[in-house]
Structure formats: structure tokens, C-alpha cells
């Protein structure tokens, strides 16, 4: 029962973040700046440490780094493939596909968040609670990030809302599925490392350049730094 209540909390947190982004579209460059920092913060301060901790028993740090690099390269290739294979008007073809790819990546990450919560509770209630707090702190940013990616690439509110609901449901589904199987910790560490590479690409190569290119102001940079700091502090509090 406790696990499913936490799943519902992740659903609400993601929806609240996305709703905020939808209502303040005129401030999208600032939201994107914050989102870039949040995504990078999640990669460096949450996904990578968790991947190393989970894989520590069977992998060296260099192996985790290799998996992270592979994730970055795979996402880069997928992103460029979308550009090359899309046809027609660039604004309504290529860009929307790139937004969809980014939103799909964020949704997969949210699903993985749910599985991490479920597996953590398989270890103990205490570990599950700590992991849950860490996930909830950045689910709000996940909602913002999902909406930001769709709106940035010329998507409308309906499409952004659809992806937001999909992203919000993903962690609940992840939690539910962990009730039926057990994933080895080293395998979970590999998955987290790959997703760390995904998020480094999304944050550094997509959100960060786009937010500053559209509005090259000091405030945009401050929002990016704020996103990094907020996620760092929240994760440290959750794990401390």
C-alpha cells in the first residue's frame, strides 16, 4: 500500500511541474534554462552515483563510465537519425520528432524511477523511503522538462499535455511491474548508467544551448545554475 501511495505522489508531482510549464509558456526560456540544469543535475548527482553504487560489486568505475558514454552516443545517433529521416517542413517535421524523442527519453527515465522505487522497497522500507524522496524531488522537474521539450520543438498544448500525462503515469507503471520480478542490482546499475548518458545529451546538447540561444541573458544562465543547485541540494537532503 505504501509503495502505491508513493507512486500516486510521483504522478501528482510530475503533473504539477508540467502544468507550471504550460501556464508560463512566455517564460519558456527561463524554464528551459532551469530544466537544463535540473537534467544535468539528475545525471551527475543522482543517476551516476546510483549506477556506480549498484554496479560496484561486479563492475569497475571505468565500466560504468563506458555505459554512460554508450548512452550518450546512442541518444546522439538517434537524435541525428530523426533529423536525417524526417522530411517536409523543418519546423513541423524534424523539430517535432526531436521533441518527441526527448519526451520519450524522459518518460523512459520516469518509468525507471518507478522501478528503482519498487526495487528499493524490496531491499528494505528505509532504503525505499530514501529513494522515494530523491525521486519525488526531481519528478516536478521531469514534468517541466517534458513539456519544455515539446513546446520548444513547436508542439502545441494538447501534444504537450498528452506527453505530460504519459510521463506522469510511467513511474506508477514502473512501481507496479516490480511487484512481479526482481532485477539484479548490477543490471540496474548498467541501465542507470545508460540513462545518465541520455540525460547528459538532453541537457547539454538540447535544452542548454536552445535556452541561451533564444534569450542570451544572464538570468537564463542563473536559472541553469539554480536548476543544478536545487537538484543537488534536494538529492543530498534525501540521501542524508
Contact 212, 220 (CB under 8 A): yes
CA-closest candidate to residue 116, choices 41, 178, 197: 178
CA-closest candidate to residue 184, choices 86, 109, 115, 238: 115
- Considering its fold, how many domains does the chain have in total? 1
Sorting pLDDT into bands at 50, 70 and 90, what band is 13?
confident
Distances (CA, A) of 196 to 114, 117, 163, 181, 200: 16, 17, 21, 24, 6
CA-closest candidate to residue 200, choices 47, 96, 52: 47
158-181, pLDDT tens digit by residue?
888 888 899 889 989 988 888 887
CA-closest candidate to residue 35, choices 236, 231, 224, 230: 224
Contact 128, 197 (CB under 8 A): no
Q: Which residue has the higher pLDDT, 108 or 213?
A: 108
Residue 231 has a pLDDT of 82
CB-based contacts of 219, cutoff 8 Å, min separation 6: 30, 33
User: Could you give the CA distance from residue 198 to residue 66 in angstroms, rounded to a whole number?
Assistant: 13
Contact 125, 143 (CB under 8 A): no
Domain that holds residue 224: 2-20+27-239
Amino acid at each position: 500500500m505504501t509503495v502505491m501511495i508513493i507512486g500516486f505522489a510521483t504522478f501528482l508531482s510530475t503533473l504539477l511541474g508540467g502544468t507550471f510549464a504550460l501556464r508560463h509558456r512566455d517564460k519558456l526560456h527561463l524554464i528551459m534554462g532551469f530544466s537544463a540544469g535540473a537534467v544535468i543535475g539528475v545525471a551527475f548527482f543522482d543517476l551516476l552515483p546510483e549506477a556506480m553504487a549498484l554496479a560496484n560489486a561486479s563492475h569497475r568505475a571505468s565500466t560504468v563510465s563506458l555505459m554512460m558514454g554508450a548512452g550518450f552516443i546512442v541518444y546522439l545517433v538517434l537524435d541525428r537519425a530523426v533529423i536525417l529521416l524526417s522530411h517536409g517542413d523543418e519546423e513541423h517535421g524534424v523539430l517535432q520528432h526531436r521533441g518527441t524523442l526527448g519526451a520519450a527519453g524522459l518518460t523512459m527515465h520516469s518509468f525507471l524511477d518507478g522501478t528503482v522505487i519498487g526495487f528499493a522497497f524490496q531491499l528494505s522500507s528505509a532504503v525505499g523511503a530514501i529513494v522515494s524522496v530523491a525521486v519525488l524531488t526531481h519528478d516536478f522537474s521531469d514534468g517541466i522538462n517534458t513539456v519544455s521539450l515539446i513546446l520548444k520543438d513547436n508542439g502545441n498544448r494538447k501534444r504537450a499535455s498528452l506527453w505530460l500525462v504519459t510521463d506522469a503515469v510511467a513511474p506508477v507503471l514502473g512501481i507496479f511491474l516490480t511487484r512481479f520480478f526482481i532485477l539484479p542490482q548490477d543490471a540496474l546499475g548498467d541501465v542507470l548508467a545508460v540513462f545518465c548518458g541520455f540525460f547528459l545529451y538532453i541537457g547539454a546538447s538540447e535544452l542548454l544551448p536552445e535556452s541561451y540561444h533564444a534569450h542570451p541573458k544572464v538570468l537564463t544562465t542563473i536559472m541553469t545554475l539554480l536548476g543544478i543547485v536545487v537538484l543537488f541540494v534536494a538529492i543530498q537532503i534525501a540521501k542524508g
